[in-house]
Amino acid sequence: MNVVEMRGIYKYFSDTCANKNVDFSLRKGEIHALLGENGAGKSTLMNILYGLYTYDAGTITVNGARVDMENPATAIRHGIGMVHQHFMLIPQLTVTQNIFLCAKEAGFVLNMPTLEARVEEMNRRFGFRVDPSAFVWQLPVGIQQKVEILKALARNIRILILDEPSAVLTPKESDELFSTLQSLVREGYSVILITHKMQEVLDFSDRVTVMRAGEVVDTLNVSDTDAHALANMMVGREVFLQRQTKPQPTGEPMLEVCDLTVKNDKKLDWVKNISFQVRAGEIVGIAGVDGNGQLELGEAIAGGRTLESGSIRLCGKDITRSSIRRRLDMGLAHIPDDRQKKGLVLQFPIKDNILLSGQRSKQYANGFFLNTKKIEARTRTLVERFDVRPTDINLPAGSLSGGNQQKVILAREVDRGGKVLLAFQPTRGLDIGAIEFVRAKLVEERAKGAAILLISTDLDEIRSLSDRILVMYEGHITGELPYNAPLEQIGLMIAGHDTTTIEKARGDVQ
């Protein structure tokens, strides 16, 4: 029996069609995964079902009756609850106050002890341990998510939508979450799981609806499909994340770091006496767990952090004390680790983000005055070449999905024609299609002879792109490995097992 039927849903955001003739159904007592890349329209569809977004066409039926989803209150009345990716909690209110905000049974005057007892009762029933009187801002995200779920359950919802619920959780917390969901389903609840993680679909879901570019590709029983087929449906073509770099001769050293020491924000030495080179036409990967000095190293090379000692040479010239502007002029390109805070001005349109740092070049300006025509023409070319979607160059960068934001940065940095590219977590948080695109571009730049320093915590990424791998641990470079070093070996080294034992292990193997 279908508890939810959505038929022919259309949703436009200005000119962009986010949902196009979407059909979706949910059966009673199932976990139904909604799979798709970032920007495929999954969250939009569910926000429509929850009444948070208005829709332009289509019908919604809940438990057999047509419902005009005007607002979340309507959805809640029909037993639909939603846990958003960015939690919808009021930090300044307590857990109990959040749970009973706007709930009918709370009445006008709040009887806090009674309401807190109700939360305790739900805690027992669903196996949670949430302090009812704690303020939400005091709680870790894993617990906040439980508050979100309790909030829905307290309103007697029977249909629970979860938007990327595991994105903010540790592996242990997500295991707990999924066992909670499974026990809810056994009690007759129905669950919609928005995700782009294949494993969650395969391990926990009964059916899956795949969305791509605002449309439904197909709805399948999970038992009838596999990861490969789903990935292809998601992206719309064969996905290829394996190593694509071919060996090629390297040229002159373009980036030379010598005895570099840098302090972190707490004024402690965080990068300690590091030396390495990156040659033209090679990708050097820096592997390591977050917080081992990669951030400080990257910022020191980009020019955003002062050095304690050591020197940096770019294209053979000393840049130790050069300004950021001079480094850029000399051919440094930089993909920062946080695209929204450091890579883009989110309020600016795409074209102005492309212009950033190029405002002095002849390509975009005649002396003091910007040449709007040239900027727009160039942006159009780049938007096309880098497949940025939507293609409207006047849209603010903040309205783009993560993958498209990263493409804008990539387009700007690559287009400057830098000889050295500093790529810092270039695919963090992106979906498969965008990851593939960004990596292919890096490989393309390498083939053109760029020297690329890749800093990433993703070992698969390091292994699939790098020619050489440097492992960073507690501010030191603890070893250099070839790209085809076994994963376990890199894993051991980033966890701080020192190179000598590893060298020895390697010797034993040989």
Partner 1 sequence: MDQVSFFLAATVRMATPLMIAALGLVVSERAGLMNIGVEGTMLAGAFAAFSVSAFTGNYWLGILCAMLAGCVMALLFAFTSITLRTPQIVIGAAVNMLGSGLTAVLFRKLFFDAATGGIQVATFPALPIPLLHAIPILGSILFNHNVIVYIGMLLVPALWFIMNRTSTGLKIIAVGEHPRAADSMGVNVFRTRYAATLFSGVLMGLAGGYLSIAQANSFNVDMTGGKGYIAMAIVVLGKWTPGGVAGGALLFGGANALQMTLQNLGLGIPNNIIMMVPYIVTILAVLTASRHRVIDAGAKGIPYIKV
Binding region for partner 1 (CB under 8 A): 13, 47, 50, 52-54, 71-73, 76, 82, 84, 87-93, 97, 100-102, 106-110, 112, 151
> DSSP state, 246?
P
Closer of 38 and 44 to partner 1 (Cβ): 44
Helix or strand or coil: residue 338?
coil
Cα(86)–Cα(335) distance, rounded to whole angstroms?
25
Closer of 93 and 459 to partner 1 (Cβ): 93
Q: In angstroms, what is the minimal distance from the CB of 155 to partner 1?
A: 9
Q: In angstroms, what is the minimal distance from the CB of 319 to partner 1?
A: 41
Token pair recorded at residue 391:
């293609």
Residues 6+ apart with CB under 8 A from 183: 126, 127
* 8 A C-beta contact, residue 28 and residue 49: no
Closer of 155 and 351 to partner 1 (Cβ): 155
* Distance (Å) of CA 128 to CA 116, 179, 459: 14, 12, 34
Closer of 54 and 179 to partner 1 (Cβ): 54
Q: In angstroms, what is the minimal distance from the CB of 310 to partner 1?
A: 39
Cα(83)–Cα(72) distance, rounded to whole angstroms?
12
Closer of 170 and 347 to partner 1 (Cβ): 347
Cα(344)–Cα(245) distance, rounded to whole angstroms?
29
Q: In angstroms, what is the minimal distance from the CB of 109 to partner 1?
A: 6
Q: In angstroms, what is the minimal distance from the CB of 422 to partner 1?
A: 35
Q: In angstroms, what is the minimal distance from the CB of 345 to partner 1?
A: 19
Cα(253)–Cα(25) distance, rounded to whole angstroms?
58
DSSP string, 488-504: HHHHHHHTT--HHHHHH
Closer of 97 and 456 to partner 1 (Cβ): 97
Residues 6+ apart with CB under 8 A from 475: 269, 270, 271, 272, 274, 292, 293
Q: In angstroms, what is the minimal distance from the CB of 343 to partner 1?
A: 24
* 8 A C-beta contact, residue 117 and residue 197: no
Q: In angstroms, what is the minimal distance from the CB of 133 to partner 1?
A: 13
For residues 474-492, b (16+ Cβ closer than 10 Å) or e, as one string?
ebbbbbebebebeeebbeb
Please report the sign of the dihedral spanned by the C-alpha atoms of residue 110, residue 114, residue 120, residue 125: negative
Closer of 57 and 487 to partner 1 (Cβ): 57
Q: In angstroms, what is the minimal distance from the CB of 249 to partner 1?
A: 53
- In terms of Cβ atoms closer than 10 Å to its own Cβ (0-12, 13-18, 19+), residue 422 is buried
Q: In angstroms, what is the minimal distance from the CB of 76 to partner 1?
A: 6
Cα(198)–Cα(201) distance, rounded to whole angstroms?
5
Closer of 150 and 333 to partner 1 (Cβ): 150
Closer of 38 and 425 to partner 1 (Cβ): 38
Closer of 261 and 399 to partner 1 (Cβ): 399
User: Which residues are bridge partners to 453 per DSSP?
Assistant: 284, 422
Q: What is the largest CA-CA distance in the chain?
A: 76
